[in-house]
Amino acid sequence: MNDGAKRHGNDCPPIADQKAELKRVWELFQPDNIRLFELRAIDPLSAMHPQTEHFRADTYDCLASLQDAFEDRALELNQAGYNIYTTLNPVKPDFRGSAAKDADILHRSLLLIDIDRVGNTKQPATDDEVTGALILAEAISSFLAENEWLDPLLMMSGNGAHLYYRLPDLPNTDQSTALVKGVLQTLSQKFDNDEFAVDRSVFNAGRITKVPGTIMRNGQETKERPYRMARLLR
């Protein structure tokens, strides 16, 4: 057990709650069409050496077995003190490296809009700050709905809000990167305020995203700034 786990031993919700929420990770993805899943565990005290594991469909007897293995390992590493992520977009099935980079992505299947508070984000957010990020996320989704975008998935990420929009498996090209980057810039210009902002940096194809059902730990928690479990809200 690492130092992070020793320092953060009293913040876990009931295991049953985590397990139930972890299963919702498959609402974000389309596991029937993905042959390789990457799990990345990052120590909040030393992010320089993440622990990366891959779950390949051809090594399991069925998709349900792969999903169970992914969920169990994510929970185990999260309980050990790691923050848990996976790649936003599917990794090429023949990938054999350590951690997937932009060039290792098969195609773009999701657009992430990450809303967070402005200023010091090295400490956990307050409840009011999380609520503010979710309110801005709702404003953005309403605006995009008015422009004929389909409804997104909404996640409380632990300290802010994530909107996930499905893409029609865009090719992993410079043109797709420019398109995603332009969307984030446009939304940022329209919706950023003094307290909350759209993260413009999450445009790259190899972006990782938090796994629902896992606790997000950064900085020192207090009564006003607790660690929280990431949850899909809709």
* DSSP secondary structure of 149-209: PPPPEEEE-SSSEEEEEEEEEEESSHHHHHHHHHHHHHHHHHH--SSEEE-TTTTSTT-EE
Which of 8-22, 71-85, 144-158 bottoms out in mean pLDDT, i.e. has the lowest? 8-22
Please state, rounded to an integer, the average pLDDT across all residues of the chain.
93
Confidence of residue 7 (pLDDT cuts 50, 70, 90): very low
Share of the chain above pLDDT 90, in %: 88
Confidence of residue 11 (pLDDT cuts 50, 70, 90): low
Q: Whole-angstrom Cα distance, residue 16 to residue 22?
A: 10
Q: For 164-187, how does the pLDDT look when each residue is reduced to its tens digit (9 = 90+)?
A: 999 999 999 999 999 999 999 999
Q: For 118-151, how does the pLDDT look when each residue is reduced to its tens digit (9 = 90+)?
A: 988 889 999 999 999 999 999 999 999 999 999 9
**pLDDT (0 to 100) of residue 118:** 95
Q: Whole-angstrom Cα distance, residue 68 to residue 87?
A: 18
Q: 3-class SS at 51?
A: strand
Q: Is the Cβ–Cβ distance between 89 and 107 less than 8 Å?
A: yes
**pLDDT (0 to 100) of residue 150:** 96
In this prediction the pTM is 0.93
Where does the chain show beta strands of DSSP type E? 36-43, 46-56, 83-87, 107-117, 153-156, 161-171, 196-198, 208-210, 215-216, 228-229, 231-232
